A and B are shown apart, each in its own frame.
Chain A
Amino acid sequence: MTLQDFLQAGLDIPASQSTPAVHADFAHGVMTLRGDSYPENSFDFFGPVLDWVEQFIASEERPLRLDISIVYMNTSSVKAMMDLFDLLDAAFQKGKEVSVSWFFDPRNERVIEMVEEFKEDCTFPFNIVPEVGNG
Chain B
Amino acid sequence: MASPLDVNDEAYIAEIHALLEHDAPETDWKRVTENLLVAYQKQQQRLDKLLRISDGFGDLTHAENLSLTEQYRKQLKRLQKIARISDLYQRTMVELNESLKQAALHDPLTGLPNRRYMIERLREQSALEQRKNSGFALLMLDVDHFKGINDRFGHDAGDRVLTSVAHTIQQCLREYDVCARWGGEEFLVLLPNMGLTEAQLVAQRVLDSVRNINMANVMGSSAFRIKALTLSAGVAEHSAKEHYEETIKRADQALYEAKEQGRDRSASHTY
A-side residues, CB < 8 A to B, are 38, 40-43, 72-79, 82, 108, 110-111, 113-114, 117-118, 121
Q: Which residues of B contact A110 (CB under 8 A)?
A: 88, 92, 95
Residue in chain B with minimal CB distance to A70: B89
B89 lies within 8 A of A79 (CB): no
B20 contacts A75, CB within 8 Å?
A: yes
Interchain CB contact under 8 A, A72 and B92: yes
Residues of chain A with a CB closer than 8 A to B21's CB: 41-43, 76
Residue from the list A41, A82, A108, A113 in contact with B82, Cβ < 8 A: A82
With contacts A41-B21, A43-B21, A79-B20 taken as known, whether A74 is within 8 angstroms of B89 at the C-beta atoms is yes
Q: Which residue of B lies closest to A39 (CB)?
A: B23
Taking beta carbons and an 8 Å cutoff, which residues of B are in contact with A?
20-23, 25, 27, 29, 78, 81-86, 88-89, 92-93, 95
Residues of B within 8 A of A75 (CB): 20, 23, 27, 29, 82-83, 86
Interface Cβ pair total, 8 Å cutoff: 57
6 new A-B contacts, CB < 8 A, other than A72-B89, A73-B85, A110-B88, are A38-B23, A40-B22, A43-B22, A74-B23, A78-B86, A82-B78
Partner pick for B89 among A41, A78, A121, CB 8 A cutoff:
A78
Q: Which residue of A lies closest to B23 (CB)?
A: A76
B83: chain A residues at CB < 8 Å are 75
Determine if A114 and B88 form an interchain contact, defined as CB atoms under 8 angstroms apart.
yes
Residues of A within 8 A of B23 (CB): 38, 42, 74-77
Docked-complex contact A82 and B81, CB < 8 angstroms: yes
Q: What secondary structure prevails in chain B residues at the interface with A?
A: helix
Q: 4 closest A-B pairs (Cβ-Cβ)?
A: A76-B23, A75-B86, A43-B21, A75-B23
- How far is A55 from B32 in the complex, measured between Cα atoms in Å? 33
Q: Which residue of chain B is the closest to A77 with respect to CB atoms?
A: B23
Q: Which residues on the B side are within 8 Å of A121 (C-beta)?
A: 81
B88, A117: Cβ atoms under 8 Å? Answer: yes
Chain B contacts for A74, CB-based, 8 A: 23, 25, 86, 89
Alpha-carbon gap, A75 to B31, bound state (A): 14
Shortest beta-carbon distance from A47 to chain B in Å: 10
Q: Which residue of A lies closest to B18 (CB)?
A: A43
With CB as the reference atom, state the residue of chain B lying closest to A41.
B22
- Complex interface: chain B residues within 8 A of A111 (CB): 92
A117 touches B92 (CB 8 A): no
A-B contact pairs, 13 of them (CB 8 A): A42-B22, A72-B92, A72-B93, A74-B23, A74-B25, A74-B86, A75-B29, A75-B82, A76-B21, A78-B82, A79-B82, A108-B92, A117-B81
Cross-chain contact A117 with B27 (CB below 8 angstroms) = no
